[in-house]
Each structure stands twice: as structure tokens, then as C-alpha cells.
């Protein structure tokens, strides 16, 4: 089931504490769950004043934008890009607040806006998680980006929303909002109302922690149950890895043989995860094999002696824990 979401993720960088001091804006358009277009504008704030603390955060200086157009001069182009789409931002109150302040400051009519917040979505999707900032969430999901660049932040924001939809097996953004009991925010000339929901994150987190304590593994697909792992092995966070697989594919193009009994997940789950991460499963070792993952009771040295090796295609042999370490780090 595909998460066919339609939205535009946005992010502002500001020159100072003033909400109307936008100096960079980016927008990433998503259609049917795919990022299809992106735009970025450098903006000359009026007045042209930058605080040192803001420069330290995003690295944009007055010299870089002094020849750019003001927000008011860019609004026709920006509004065409945003159109009537649902806007998505991480900590949406900030970005929508900047948008409204810039519109008022430059005496532009304020359109009816509908938006949602990936911070609020993440709190309800992963209530057991402790940190919901853009950077820690992106790192947890394996999304690599340069923080405090508006375009990179917009892409990361879009990917977090897509990850949430995939995790909750939603079919669309309205379907995800319904599953999370989250009502979309809105704004206009009349004022502002942020996204609201009936779930209290702390209560949800306590409930999720109790539930996870009794479960052997957190699964993306609940019907795919594995044997309970041996107590001396930490179970693999299969849910996290499957969501990460949508954005990074560290096993891409690799031919992989899984040999022996694994302790952290079942062989079927390991094969499914390998395919989702871009690898291809082989039943037998041959000259095309790139990686051999060995389970309990098997020896790296014995496999090295019995496996075909060549300078052109050296076979890498790893134990189970090292294999999952490679996946988590993305350095396979």
C-alpha cells in the first residue's frame, strides 16, 4: 500500500528575531508520495539587518542577499509555487508565522492557508522517541542533510512526513491525519490556528513504552512475527530500519548470502530487510557474492577458506551484529 501524499514542505531562515526578516525560503512539492519539484529563494529583508546569532546559525550574511529581491517583490512567484497546497513545516508555528509576518509587512493580501506540522506528526507517530527536533529525527531515520539550509531542511521535513505515512501504512495525508487524530492548522486574514489533536504526547509515550516492554520486536507490519530472539542478543529495531530503507539503500547492488541461524531476527525478516535496503539475496555463494552474513555457530575463518575470492570481487564475511551495525551506520 503506497502513501500517495500531496503537499508542499517549506522552511524559512530569518535574518534576526523579527518574524518578517526572512532571508531564505525553500519549498519542496510532493505528489503521490514522490518529491517532484523544489524551489529556493534568497530574500533581501527590509531593513537589511542581520543579527550575529542568526548568521552563526545559518551562515547567510547581508552581503549575500543585498542584491536580491524583497519578499514583496518575490511573492507573486512564491505564491504560484505554494498555490492552494497543504503546507508542511517542522515546527510549523514558526514558518507559518514568518510567512504571515512577511505578507503583512509587505502589504500583501493574506490567502487562506492550510498546513500541518511534522513535529506534531512525529510525536504521534513515534511517541516513544525522546527528541523531536528536525536534526535528531532526521538522524534517527537515516536522512542526511545540511541543517539550517532552507532547501535541505524542507527536503528533510518532507521525508519525515513520508516516513510517518509509511510507518502508519496511511494511503494519503488526510488518512494519516485521521489515524493520528490530528486536525490540520489554518490561517488567513482573520488570524491563525495551529494543528490540534486529542492525543497527549506524554500519555501516549507512557502507553507505548509499556506496550513495547512486552513485545519482542517493534514491527512495521504486525503480521510478520518472528521467533523471540535469544536474551543475550539485542533485538533489531526492524521498524526503524524499514523506514530508513525508503531513503537510504546501503546494500544497493550487493549480492548477499545469509548463512546460518540469526539471533536478532528471523531469516525471513533479514531477507526482507536486505531487499528493502537495495541488496539481492543469493541462496548459494558464488563469484558474484559481495557479502556473507553468518549466524550462530558459524565461523568467519571457515567461510573465508571455503568462499571464492578474487582481487576483482573480494567477498566480505561478517557476523550478524556487524551486519546490523553496517546497516544502521549506512556504511555497508
Interval 120-141: pLDDT, tens: 999 999 998 889 999 999 988 8
- Please tell me the predicted confidence (pLDDT) of residue 204: 43
Residue 128: predicted pLDDT: 87
Q: What pLDDT sits at residue 248? A: 61
Q: How far apart are CA 123 and CA 41, in angstroms?
A: 30
pLDDT of residue 284: 86
pLDDT the model gives residue 151: 97
Cα-based distances in Å from 163 to 18, 183, 202, 217: 33, 19, 22, 19
Buried b (16+ CB within 10 A) or exposed e, 40-52: ebbbbbeeeebee
Can you tell me the distance from the alpha carbon of 241 to that of 163, in angstroms, rounded to the nearest whole number?
11
* pLDDT for 242: 65
Select the CATH number that applies to the domain covering 7-204 from these four: 3.40.50.720, 3.30.420.10, 3.30.70.141, 3.40.50.300: 3.30.420.10
- The sign of the dihedral angle between the CA atoms of 110, 111, 112, 116 is negative
- Return the pLDDT at 307: 67
Per-residue model confidence (pLDDT) at position 288? 85
Task: Dump pLDDT digits (tens) for 224-275.
Answer: 333 334 445 566 666 666 666 656 667 878 899 988 888 888 878 888 888 8
pLDDT at 211: 41
Q: In what order do the strands lie in the sheet with 22-31?
A: 34-42, 22-31, 7-14, 87-89, 113-117, 185-188, 191-193
CA angle 292, 293, 296 (to 5 degrees): 135
- pLDDT at residue 268 in the model: 83
Describe the crossing of helices 150-167 and 173-180 by its angle, rounded to 10 degrees. 70
CATH classification (class only), 238-329: alpha beta
What separation in angstroms does the CA of 296 have from each of 263, 275, 301, 322? 7, 22, 14, 13
Q: According to the model, what pLDDT value does residue 43 have?
A: 98
Task: Indicate the SS3 state at residue 165.
Answer: helix
User: Which residues have CB under 8 Å from 288's CB, separation 6+?
Assistant: 255, 282, 313
Per-residue pLDDT of the chain (332 residues; tens, 9 = 90+): 589 999 999 999 999 999 999 999 999 999 999 999 999 999 999 999 999 999 999 999 999 999 999 999 999 999 999 988 999 999 999 999 999 999 999 999 999 999 999 999 999 999 988 899 999 999 888 888 899 999 999 999 999 999 999 999 999 999 999 999 999 999 999 889 999 864 344 444 344 434 433 333 333 333 333 333 444 556 666 666 666 665 666 787 889 998 888 888 887 888 888 887 778 899 888 888 888 998 887 776 776 666 666 555 578 888 888 888 777 665 55
127 close to 211: Cβ distance less than 8 angstroms:
no
Beta-bridge mates of residue 186: 114, 193
Q: Give the 3-state secondary structure of residue 170.
A: coil
Map out the domains of the chain as residue ranges: 7-204, 238-329
Amino acid at each position: 500500500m503506497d502513501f500517495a501524499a500531496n503537499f508542499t514542505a517549506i522552511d524559512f531562515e530569518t535574518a534576526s528575531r523579527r518574524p518578517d526578516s526572512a532571508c531564505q525560503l525553500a519549498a519542496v512539492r510532493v505528489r503521490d508520495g514522490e518529491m517532484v519539484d523544489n524551489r529556493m529563494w534568497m530574500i533581501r529583508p527590509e531593513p537589511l539587518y542581520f543579527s550575529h546569532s542568526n548568521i552563526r546559525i545559518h551562515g547567510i550574511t547581508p552581503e549575500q542577499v543585498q542584491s536580491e529581491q524583497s519578499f514583496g517583490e518575490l511573492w507573486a512567484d512564491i505564491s504560484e509555487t505554494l498555490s492552494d497546497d497543504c503546507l508542511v513545516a517542522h515546527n510549523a508555528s514558526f514558518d507559518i508565522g514568518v510567512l504571515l509576518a512577511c505578507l503583512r509587512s509587505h502589504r500583501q493580501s493574506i490567502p487562506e492557508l492550510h498546513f500541518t506540522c511534522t513535529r506534531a506528526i512525529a510525536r504521534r507517530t513515534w511517541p516513544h522517541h525522546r527528541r523531536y527536533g528536525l536534526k535528531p529525527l532526521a538522524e534517527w531515520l537515516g536522512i542526511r542533510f545540511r541543517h539550517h539550509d532552507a532547501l535541505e531542511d524542507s527536503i528533510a521535513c518532507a521525508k519525515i512526513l513520508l516516513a510517518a505515512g509509511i510507518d502508519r501504512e496511511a494511503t494519503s495525508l488526510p488518512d494519516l491525519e485521521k489515524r493520528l487524530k490530528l486536525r490540520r492548522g489554518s490561517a488567513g486574514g482573520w488570524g491563525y490556528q495551529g494543528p490540534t489533536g486529542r492525543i497527549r504526547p506524554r500519555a501516549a509515550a507512557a502507553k507505548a513504552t509499556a506496550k513495547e516492554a512486552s513485545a519482542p520486536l517493534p514491527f512495521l507490519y504486525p503480521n510478520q512475527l518472528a521467533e523471540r530472539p535469544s536474551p543475550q542478543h539485542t533485538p533489531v529495531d526492524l521498524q526503524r530500519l524499514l523506514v530508513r530503507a525508503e531513503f537510504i539503500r546501503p546494500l544497493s547492488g550487493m549480492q548477499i548470502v545469509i548463512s546460518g541461524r540469526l539471533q536478532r531476527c528471523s531469516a525471513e525478516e533479514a531477507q526482507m530487510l536486505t531487499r528493502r535496503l537495495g541488496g539481492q539475496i543469493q541462496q548459494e555463494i558464488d563469484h558474484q557474492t559481495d557479502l556473507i552474513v553468518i549466524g550462530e555457530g558459524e565461523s568467519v575463518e571457515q567461510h573465508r577458506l571455503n568462499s571464492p575470492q578474487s582481487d576483482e570481487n573480494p567477498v566480505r564475511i561478517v557476523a550478524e551484529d556487524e551486519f546490523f551495525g553496517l546497516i544502521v551506520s549506512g556504511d555497508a
